[in-house]
Amino acid sequence: MIKKAVLIILDGVGDRPANELEGKTPLQYANTPNLDKIAKKSTTGLMDPIAPGIRAGSDTSHMNILGYDPYKHYSGRGPFEAAGLDMELEPGDIAFRCNFATVDENMVVKDRRAGRIKEGTHELASALNGMQIEDVQIFVKEGVEHRAALVLRGPGLSPHVSDADPHETGKKVQEVVALEPGAEKTARILNEFVRRSYDILSTHEINREREAQGKLPANILLPRGAGMAPHLKKFEALHEMRGACVVGTPLIRGICKMAGITPIDVPGATGGYDTDMMAKMRAVLDALQEFDFVLVNIKAPDIAGHDSRPRKKVEVIERIDRAVGYLFEHLPDDVVVVITADHSTPCSVGDHSGDPVPVMLYAPDARADEGGFDEISAARGALRIRGSDLMNIIKNASNRAHKFGA
């Protein structure tokens, strides 16, 4: 019998032991009765999202997991962010992911996320949107919290430029430079845009109000991750499954849109700590009535890792456990479920690492190996795979794989 499939990506859930968690990882420490129960009925193991030791980005790892070789198709994160925000991309456009950030008068970054600003970003983006520098049109749209996307449209542009974002607090905004001949114009336009963004945003009413309330102003927009939109073969043509996604972040939504995976927008799916996980699971159950494959991304574990908050990560994992329990209570019998991560984000590092992530495949007839869903228990399971293997494994488990040979 042909089965449907759900792929749940717990963004950045992989971790390392933490002293404040009695030397355990957040997955080991958390109370996860539902994940534990599912693991006992699943084939478990470890997965390198790209390859052993490679520090995967959320973009490159999701591409690899979905069957798109990032070494062939990835040109930068910006186009995915823009597509995820429903910005139109034309041939020749250059797109960037951006942060609303806080800088001082010397352009030294005080906070790359402007205190994780949650309100007023639409007005701030609107103040920058529609700008023209030389013969280049500029489009800006706000994303979740401090995030935004930037699109440059005009002749002679190139994605081969460096980032304005220094990626660290305490450092000055970087001068954008051309990384290849022919990118000098793009670098010049981008530097002028960053300077104008500071001039406009530092005096904006939203930021005056924030400062009056003792909050950090979002007084500059810092671009990074330049790229041109890649051409991806449609997911249905690649895997012979109609796909949908339930995600809260523009990045993953954009990857899915470009791959022809239908985004299902869920009220309360914020991509933050406050995301409505139960609403996401209800949306998955609804989507399974129409689609063959549903991708779910839950961003909150990754945020806790970046914030270096192991106890917060435990809290997030326990919420995930309850939501996954709800999903399995209502799951039809003919569905394969894979639960894994796109990368590890150890709280001790505060960023992505190249550590493998736990993975488990549940199916009514799965070869259960009595493993567990944490970094240590999963290592005793049957699977030791790369992200590029996962769709083949899902298709095999759902009886959709084609025979190779006679």
- Residue-wise pLDDT for 15-68, tens only, equals 999 999 999 999 999 999 999 999 999 999 999 999 999 999 999 999 999 999
Q: pLDDT-based confidence at 264, cuts 50/70/90?
A: very high
How confident is the model at residue 91, as a pLDDT?
86
Sign of CA dihedral 48, 50, 52, 56: negative
Rounded Cα distance between 345 and 336, Å, is 26
pLDDT band at 157 (very low <50, low <70, confident <90, very high): very high
Q: What pLDDT, on the 0 to 100 scale, is given for residue 144?
A: 82
- The pLDDT of 160-170, averaged and rounded, is 95
CA distance 385 to 356: 9
CATH classification for the domain delimited by 4-74+231-397, as one of 3.30.70.920, 3.40.720.10, 3.40.50.2300, 2.40.50.140: 3.40.720.10
For 275-329, the pLDDT digits (tens) are: 999 999 999 999 999 999 999 999 999 999 999 999 999 999 999 999 999 999 9
Q: Where are the domains of the chain?
A: 4-74+231-397, 81-227
- Residue 231 clears pLDDT 90, i.e. is over it: no
d(CA 325, CA 358): 18
Smallest Cα–Cα separation from 337: which of 304, 300, 362, 371? 362
pLDDT per residue as tens digits for the range 142-155:
988 899 999 999 99
Q: Residue 219 corresponds to which tokens in the numbers above?
A: 């007084």
Res 120 pLDDT > 90: yes
pLDDT digits (tens, 9 = 90+) for 180-201: 999 999 999 999 999 999 999 9
**Are 398 and 3 contacting, i.e. CB atoms less than 8 angstroms apart?**
yes
Query: Do 117 and 218 form a contact (C-beta atoms < 8 A)?
Result: yes
Q: What is the pTM of this model?
A: 0.87
